[in-house]
Amino acid sequence: MILVLLILIPLLTGILSFSINGNGAKNLALLSTLATLVLSVCLSCTAGTESSYFNVPWIPNLGTSFSLIGDGMSSMLCLMTGIVMLVVMIVNRNKEVEKPGSFYGLMLLAQAGLMGVFLAYDALVFYVFWELALIPVYFLCSQWGGEKRIPATFKFFVYTFVGSLMMLAGLIYLSTQTPGINSYSWPSIAHAGASLAPAQQVWLFCLIFVAFAIKMPIFPFHTWQPDTYEQSPTPVTIILSALMVKMGMFGVLRWLFPVLPAGVAYWGNTVVVLSIIGIIYASLIAIVQTDIKRLLAYSSIAHMGLMCAAAFSPSNTGIHGIMVQMFNHGINITGMWVIVSMIENRWGTRDMTKMGGMATSAPQMAIALLIISFASIGLPLTNGFVGEFMLFTGLFQSASIYHIGFMVVAALGVILGAVYTLNMVQKVAYGNTREQVINKDLAVNEYIGLAIIIAIIIFLGVYPKPLLDLTAGVVNTLVH
Amino acid sequence: MKAIIAATILGIVMMFAGLQMKNKSSVVTLAIVLAFLLLGVNIWDLVTTPATAPVGYFNNMLRIDRYALWFSTLMTGVTVLYTLLVGKEIQKVGLHVAEYFALIFFILCGVYILSCYNNMLMLFLGIEILSIPQYILAGSDKKNLKSSEASLKYFLMGAFSTGILLMGITLLYGATGSFNIVAYSFLQSDALNPLALGGIIFVMIALGFKVSAAPMHMWTPDVYDGSPTPFTAFMATVVKASAFFAFIRLFQISFGSISSQWTIVLSVITAATLLIGNLTAVFQQSVKRMLSYSSIAQAGFMLFAVLAVNAVAWQGIIIYAVAYSIATIGIFTVLMKLKDYTYDGFNGLAKKEPLLAFVTTIFLFSLAGIPLTGGFMAKYYVIQAVMLQGQLLWLVIFGLLMAAISVYYYFRVIIAMYFKEGNADLHAPVTQGEKVLLVITCGLVILIGIFPQLILINI
């Protein structure tokens, strides 16, 4: 029942929110995200040991039923979604948006879609939610975004839509291959896919992977991403970069690895090479960016690239590392975006060259920025370290003959990551104090939001066991 | 069978009512009542005809099976919705309102014949009954040069395709000695008479004209654009859908066993239809013209169902017909409210009429095939039908790429409505009744998208 509520609460409150105006919408959104977070915590408490299921028939003659699963991976991602959405709602409390009812309504609908994607245990349900998460985000970006929002988000929409249609073709094909009457349930899809001839798996992999690669995004499918991140309003950028990119990674782990093992084996090295090119390429571009939002957008490509590289050179530690890193990346990048939006708010620009001296004018903010940047680089005692360490161990342990080469080149990305992140910190927080539009340190709500993020960063950096335990069971089923 | 008779009688009643009733709006009310009556007759037919065994009439020239009955009922239902939504606009087209409705009833008679024909002569008759009223409707805005052009163009092309159809029927008769479509199912792939093959191709081309499949689509944009908008809405939906039903009926029942002979030709036609429809729609500036090209593009998807010879294809064509018709009628209803038919005419509609913009968005989502709308399920069924066929995976992928292109032109309307500044001039403020009807239509689109089995309940 928790599983259904996790989708229903944001869905219903989201629809309700359209009819409310002013602060009511904000309060409703806050309450709704709080309720979802509590539920996902409840789910995560039990999911490490046993998965919960939900199943009702939906369209019997298509062999699809509305079935959900709450295993370690799903509940971890739901938990992350819950935390991120709550932080977004908290830090946005003192900001005014035009038409708050629609804005928060769409945000909640996007959350419902995301929850559905993470919980789906039926391929068609998965596809439906996959699209449903996209549509509110499209409207959010186009309505409340920056100057060039319409072409940017349109590109984003068409790009991801092409990907999902290809995936749909793949899923329909798989369902026709299930024994007996067609079925979309995860076990029968996985069984049908795994028993296909390798040659078929190879092209099916292309169809399905395109959708995930665009969502993550993997080089060379990333071109929609920097523009969209830049043009979106910050709360939406958080949804995009902290949550929606995880849909891609999650899709790979749940709907690709067990389903098309031979396809994964065939394309594995190619994908790893692409991911590593993406890491280096995105890092190099990030170094020369002056716009902080674009810098973070490229850094996100690099981080996802590392996760994808580890995913396609499978090893127990690597996959486990992805689980941890999906969560951590979500938390860290949220913190980054929150601070970036505050910076933009205080200086009135996102150009790094026009900023400086935050450490003197707003010391609390500067400290938060520093801690989150360290986590994002992966310094020890932050959560980023745990994840990245496991990813590199995984890359190193993988069976591929190029594994050392992969690891070495990918590790360059970490150094480059330190270069652009610290450069950004240095330019924003230190140096000459530049004039600000609003000279103000953290407001109470911003303080609370960042405190949640930093607490998680340090807690998981010192004691990552809860997260590791939660996902251990899933890792075992994925690797074997 | 009762429905065919009822449609004819009601058409004649409607014509004479025009002589008696001088008030236009009472004519429309009468038409709505009669449409409901016709729906009732259809349901009566549905209830009284045994679901399992088909019933033959006129020496088996018509053969009413469950697909035929259900399709007729659904199409009548769509027509009822159409008269409710568009009836008021039909008043504005010209003087002879009663006649327009009479012609619509005659078209429905053609629809019923096409859904249950069992003989090539009946196919011919059905297509003519379907087409001739349309030639008149296309030209009903007599003072408008474009309308006359549309009518003439439609008539000439229609007559031409009828000739081709007759030629095809003749060749098939020569090959098999029969007009009965079941007789053709004994044709053997390995010993196929060239006459029969020629006949199949001719019939395919003629039906391709009717469903506006490329390269026989040339008439469509001009006719749809030139005809008065209320009638375009009808032509592009109910009429097209029933031509498709006739198409699939013939190619499944008669030529299903020799599908290897014609699959390649038809799949090329399908690909061309998708390509031309979608690519040309991208470049249109007028939403009405865009919708005509989009109707070509959607025809490409409906051809998927003809290509796939299996039970899913039947379900697919029925869902597609209904989902596509409802959404298209909905969009045309909104379009008729606007003064300016270009994309710019939609600018700022969301601010002025939020509800209108919202329902239009849902209709466009449905046409684009976004999940939880009827259009998604429709596309899903036809794609699955082709998928089950094997062999044609390239066409599926091509079709899906084209569907992605279609997002471009459908979303332009959404962008105009929501994200552009403008005034979206309306002819008249939208009344409460119209709003309720549009919301119901919109609800139907979503309902089909969530529970498509409701449409397939009877088959």
| Secondary structure in 3-state letters for chain B | CHHHHHHHHHHHHHHHHHHHCCCHHHHHHHHHHHHHHHHHHHHHHHHHCCCCCCEEECCCCEEECHHHHHHHHHHHHHHHHHHHHHHHHHHHHCCCHHHHHHHHHHHHHHHHHHHHECEHHHHHHHHHHHHHHHHHHHCCCCCCHHHHHHHHHHHHHHHHHHHHHHHHHHHHHHHHCCCECCHHHHCCCCCCCHHHHHHHHHHHHHHHHHCCCCCCCCHHHHHHHHCCHHHHHHHHHHHHHHHHHHHHHHHHHHCHHHHHHHHHHHHHHHHHHHHHHHHHHHCCCEHHHHHHHHHHHHHHHHHHHHHCCCHHHHHHHHHHHHHHHHHHHHHHHHHHHECCCEHHHHCCHHHHCHHHHHHHHHHHHHHHCCCCCHHHHHHHHHHHHHHHHCCCHHHHHHHHHHHHHHHHHHHHHHHHHHHCCCCCCECCCCCHHHHHHHHHHHHHHHHHHHCHHHCCCCC
Residue of A211, A133, A125 lying closest to A170 (CA atoms): A211
Handedness of CA B182, B188, B189, B193 (dihedral sign): negative
In angstroms, the Cα distances linking B65 to B4, B56, B68, B112 are 14, 9, 5, 12
Which of A102, A153, A156, A172 to mutate to test binding with chain B, by most B CBs within 10 Å of its CB? Answer: A172
Report d(CA B359, CA A391) in Å as an integer.
48
Burial B170-193 (b: 16+ CB within 10 A, else e): ebbbebbeebbbebbeebeeeeee
Measured between alpha carbons, how far is B7 from B16 in angstroms, rounded to an integer?
A: 14
Partners of A135 on chain B (C-beta within 8 Å) are 365, 370
Q: Summarize pLDDT for B134-151 with one digit per residue, the tens.
A: 999 999 988 889 999 999
Taking the CA of residue A106 and the nearest CA in chain B, the distance in Å comes to 14
CA-to-CA distance for A308 and A301, rounded, in angstroms?
A: 10
8 Å CB contact of B419 and A128: no
Look at residue A431 and give its three-state secondary structure: coil
Cis amide leading into A466 (omega within 30):
no
Sign of the C-alpha dihedral, residues A145, A166, A326, A202? negative
Helix (H) or strand (E) holding A70: strand A64-70
Residue A54 sits at φ, ψ, to 5 deg, of -145, 135
- For chain A positions 307-366, those within 8 Å of chain B (CB to CB) are none
**What SS3 state is found at A69?**
strand
DSSP SS3 for A67: strand
Which residues of chain B are within 8 Å of residue A207 when distances are taken between CB atoms? Answer: 397
Is B387's CB within 8 Å of A176's CB?
yes
Q: Which of residues 180-209 of A touch B (CB under 8 A)?
A: 182, 207
Residue B370 lies in a domain: yes
Q: Which residue of B has its CA nearest to A177?
A: B388
Other beta carbons less than 10 A from residue A163's beta carbon: 24
Q: How many Å lie between the alpha carbon of B280 and the closest alpha carbon of chain A?
A: 18
* Calpha distance A250→A254 (Å, rounded): 6
Residue of B nearest to A208 (CA): B397
Min Cα–Cα distance to chain A from B130, Å = 33
| CA distance, residue A228 to nearest chain B CA (Å) | 16
Q: Which helix (H) or strand (E) holds A57?
A: strand A52-59
Three-state DSSP class for A221?
coil
pLDDT mean by block of 10 residues, chain A; 480 residues: 88 89 85 91 81 86 87 89 92 84 90 92 92 90 85 87 90 85 85 88 91 88 87 89 90 89 88 91 91 89 89 85 91 91 84 83 88 90 89 84 85 89 89 74 86 92 89 79
- B416 min Cα distance to partner chain A (Å): 10
Using CA coordinates, name the residue in chain B closest to A135. Answer: B370
The verdict on a CB contact (< 8 Å) between B418 and A154 is no
CB A387 within 8 A of CB A378: yes
Report the distance separating Cα A142 and Cα B350, nearest Å: 14
Q: Give the integer Cα–Cα distance in Å for A423 and A36.
A: 37
Residue A363 near residue A434, CB atoms below 8 Å: no
Residue B321: domain span: 2-454
- B383 vs A60: CB contact, 8 Å cut-off? no
**Number of domains chain B is built from:** 1
User: How many Cβ contacts (< 8 angstroms) between chains A and B?
Assistant: 67
Residues in A touching B451 (Cβ below 8 Å): 59
DSSP category for residue A62: G
Residue located via tokens 């979303």: B411
Query: Which of A59, A127, A166 is nearest residue B452 as measured by Cβ atoms?
Result: A59
CA distance B129 to B123: 10
Residue among B388, B393, B400 minimizing CB distance to A165? B400
Asked whether residue B459 is assigned to any structural domain, the reply reads no
d(CA B37, CA B106): 15
Question: Rg for chain A (alpha carbons), in Å?
Answer: 21
Q: 55-74 in A: which are within 8 Å (CB) of B?
A: 59-62
> Which residues of chain B neighbour A143 with C-beta distances below 8 Å?
418-419
The answer to whether A165 contacts B387, with C-beta atoms less than 8 Å apart, is no
* A132 interaction partners in chain B (CB closer than 8 Å): 371-372
Give the ipTM of the model, two decimals please. 0.91
Does the CB of A127 have a partner CB in chain B at under 8 Å? yes
What is the DSSP code (8-state) at residue A18? T
A394: enclosing H helix or E strand: helix A383-397
Nearest CA distance, A162 vs chain B (angstrom): 6
Interface of B with A in 371-430 (CB under 8 A): 371-372, 380, 383-384, 387-388, 393, 396-397, 400-401, 403-404, 407-408, 411, 415, 418-419
8 Å CB contact of B419 and A162: no
- Asked if B30 contacts B14 with a C-beta cutoff of 8 angstroms, the reply is yes
- For A93, the token pair is 């409390």
For chain B, the residue count is: 459
Interatomic CA distance for residues B150 and B140, integer angstroms: 10
Neighbours of A53 (CB within 10 A): 12
Helix or strand (DSSP H, E) at A342: helix A316-347
Task: Quote the minimal CA–CA distance from A168 to chain B in Å.
Answer: 9
Please tell me the distance from the alpha carbon of residue A195 to that of residue A151, in angstroms, as a whole number: 43
Nearest CA in chain B to A18: B354
Domain positions in chain A:
261-480
Spell out, as residue ranges, where chain B has pLDDT lower than 50.
none
pLDDT of residue A456: 92
Residue appearing with tokens 């009807």: B437
The answer to whether B347 and B422 have CB atoms below 8 angstroms apart is yes
Q: Which of residues 232-271 of A touch B (CB under 8 A)?
A: none
C-alpha span between A365 and B290 (Å, rounded): 52
* pTM of the predicted structure, to 2 decimals: 0.93
